[in-house]
Amino acid sequence: MKKPLIAILIAAAALAAAPPPAHAGSYVLVGCADLDGALGPGHVVRPADGWFLEQGVYPSRDDCPAGRAGNGIFATSATKPNLFRLNAPAATSISHLVTSYRAHLSGAEEWAVPTLVVEAGHGGSWELIPPARGYIGGTPIAFGRDRASTDAHDADALRIGVRCDLQGPCAKGGQPAGRFRALAVVFRDDHAPRASLAVPGGHVQGTIELPLGATDEGGGVFVRTLSVDGRRLVGGALCATVPASVGTQRHVVRRLPCPLAAPARVRLDTRTLADGRHSLLARVEDVARNARTADAAIVVDNRPPRAGTVGLTGEAEISEALTATPSGFDGQDVTYRYRWQRCDAGGGHCSEIGGAVSQTYALRPGDAGHRVRAVVGASDKGGSVQVASAPSEIVTGPGTGPSGGFSAAPPPAVAPQGRLTAWLERGRRRVRSTTVSWPTRVRIRGRLTDRAGRPLARTPVRMLERIDGRRWRPITGVRTRRDGRVTTFTKIGPSRHVRLVYGRASVKLRLRVRATARLRVRRAGGTTLVTGRLLGGRVPIAGIRLRLQSRRGATWSTRAILRTDALGRFSATGSAPAGVRLRITIPAQRGYPFARGVAGPR
């Protein structure tokens, strides 16, 4: 039989019986029937999901539901192509095809080449891949394999069926026919899914909701899990699989087997967890075994802090200070509140000391002969606990001599010799002069040594003060500790000079206190009423001059000059727009021992 050169034999390539290698990033679509047991007693019918008749007409058809008695995906034609097509899902490609098939090709005639078609598509172009075969023999042939595997070269589509190449027809000995009884298509999916996890901010209590995001662009989300400290809260497969017959990849019967989006809102009862930080891990895995994780953390705070202990440091002497030191409290961002109590000499019958709410308490003359203790409240979002320290030693008090609690200084001829240093403590700074706002107490620290630099322990140091505009007067002195150090506090009050004296050695410190006031602004209609009162000390009978100022933009301007009464009270009435801010400035002035201060703005 003579044939033109175009009529060539399409020889089948060698078909490997071994399945393609399994690897993460792929899954297998089973069509028509499982490869294992196909056409035998163990034949399992599967849908041919995704395959459709792209070219041709009946009797070509999907006959897979008929099982062993049917023809599988059946294509036949004596003239035009009859082809079934399968498209790869988005973000995937087709790496392999494994099929169980039977084919009949008619005897070839002039200008006719009956062909079994298996094609891989690449962007609209098609290449023949095994077990495709063209036949130019004179007598019909029948052939097939129970398991034929071929590389599809990462195609975006497959076509299977028959056609009569050249002019045809192909009918000698029966028209061409292909019966694909079982198909396994390996989809490559190297794109990992996306995972997200949102958690509440701050400390959490009770039952919370955790939004979990899970999306994929290929075969879909197969499983999404959420774990807390390694313990799984939610999980499980979101789509079905079937027994594997090609490698170890997951086998499915749907072209898009799993949901592309699988969000979840997971409820977590935090009361089942211990207080503290806990790690959350969300994991999303697609059907091709690509996975991605998202982690977060929560801080659980359902219970009050665990109680610790409170210790006291310092000397139990008047003008010394005691400091409460909490330790062993276990909670989440614990905050502390302090109270101080005065107890009897036996450490019982304790009562609150008014205004003593700081971690450090400067002992007062009224504490002499008593014991003092601190009560510490430890709180977090889960609640609070209170723990009291053990009572201090009995507080020893100074004498009542004219030199501020100690015996008068000896005459100059026998005055003790020593070196005295002292300063005002402002944070980490040591200064001789500072300015504060009323009401503020400033810590005074110092050290007393002999001429050789050795500390003078348990040694009295006299103290004097001079309020601005008045004379020097003695005040309660202070006694050095065992290491020669001095610690005391200034009193709450007006501006003053403080002097510490030991023999001929003395140190003078300067404390300026800014004036302040309680200010109230009330607006009714178009009228604004400003009232207030000076704070901090005695006011001259003639009162104090004040400036009422308003602010527009970045500039303050004086609107009125006011004067208080002898009790420090003041008021003014006028009109001011609602958006205008008001304040009172208190200039420094003769007879009023305060530095310039500001009250407001309102």
Domain ranges, ordered by start, for the chain: 26-188, 194-300, 309-388, 412-513, 516-599
Q: Which CATH topology does 309-388 take?
A: Immunoglobulin-like (2.60.40)
Reference 347, options 391, 396, 389; nearest CA is: 391
Number of residues that this document lists for the chain: 602
User: Does the 516-599 domain belong in CATH 3.40.50.2300?
Assistant: no
Residue 602: its pLDDT value, please?
65
Reference 161, options 126, 193, 188; nearest CA is: 126
Residue 318: its pLDDT value, please?
83
Q: Say if residue 345's pLDDT is above 60.
A: yes
Q: Say if residue 402's pLDDT is above 50.
A: no
pLDDT band at 3 (very low <50, low <70, confident <90, very high): very low
- The larger pLDDT score, comparing residue 406 to residue 164, is at 164
Q: Which of 22-26, 121-125, 251-255, 290-294 has the lowest mean pLDDT?
A: 22-26
Q: Do domains 26-188 and 412-513 have the same CATH topology?
A: no
The C-alpha atoms of residue 418 and residue 459 are separated, in whole angstroms, by 11
**Which of 360-369, 401-410, 534-543 is most confident?**
360-369
Burial 384-417 (b: 16+ CB within 10 A, else e): ebebebebbebbebbeeeebbbbeebeeeeeeee
Please state the CATH superfamily assignment of the domain spanning residues 412-513 in this structure: Macroglobulin (MG2) domain (2.60.40.1930)
Residue 398: its pLDDT value, please?
54
Residue 7: its pLDDT value, please?
33
CB 402 within 8 A of CB 474: yes
**Which of 212-221, 393-402, 560-569 is most confident?**
212-221
Written as six digits, the tokens of 285 are 């895995």
Q: Say if residue 32's pLDDT is above 80.
A: yes
- The larger pLDDT score, comparing residue 458 to residue 221, is at 221
The C-alpha atoms of residue 181 and residue 11 are separated, in whole angstroms, by 22
The pTM for the full model equals 0.59
Share of the chain above pLDDT 70, in %: 92
Residue 5: its pLDDT value, please?
30
CB 393 within 8 A of CB 316: yes
Burial 190-226 (b: 16+ CB within 10 A, else e): ebbbbbebebeeebbbeeeebebbbbbbbbbbbbbbb
Residues whose CB is less than 8 angstroms from the CB of residue 7 and which lie 6 or more positions away in sequence, other chains included = 108, 111, 113, 136, 165, 166
- The larger pLDDT score, comparing residue 185 to residue 440, is at 185
Domain 194-300: give its CATH architecture: Sandwich (2.60)
Q: Say if residue 9's pLDDT is above 50.
A: no
DSSP bridge partners of 352 = 341
Q: What is the mean pLDDT of the chain?
A: 87
3-state helix, strand, coil split of the chain in percent (to 5) is 0, 50, 45
Residue 10: its pLDDT value, please?
34
Residues whose CB is less than 8 angstroms from the CB of residue 16 and which lie 6 or more positions away in sequence, other chains included = 149, 150
- The larger pLDDT score, comparing residue 21 to residue 147, is at 147
Q: Which CATH topology does 26-188 take?
A: Jelly Rolls (2.60.120)
User: Radius of gyration (Cα) for the chain, nearest Å?
Assistant: 47
Q: Say if residue 437's pLDDT is above 70.
A: yes
Average pLDDT over residues 33-60: 93
Q: Is 552 exposed, middle or buried (0-12, 13-18, 19+ CB in 10 A)?
A: exposed
**Which of 139-153, 320-334, 578-592 is most confident?**
139-153
Phi–psi pair at 271, nearest 5 degrees: -70, -15
Average pLDDT over residues 266-281: 93
Residue 404: its pLDDT value, please?
39
Q: Say if residue 412's pLDDT is above 90.
A: no
pLDDT band at 408 (very low <50, low <70, confident <90, very high): very low
Instruction: Count other Cβ atoms within 10 Å, centred on residue 346.
Output: 9
**Which of 64-73, 454-463, 528-537, 591-600 is most confident?**
64-73
Average pLDDT over residues 60-67: 95
Task: Give the residue carrying structure tokens 């802090």.
Answer: 305
pLDDT tens by residue, 81-131: 999 999 999 999 999 999 999 999 998 788 889 999 999 999 999 999 999
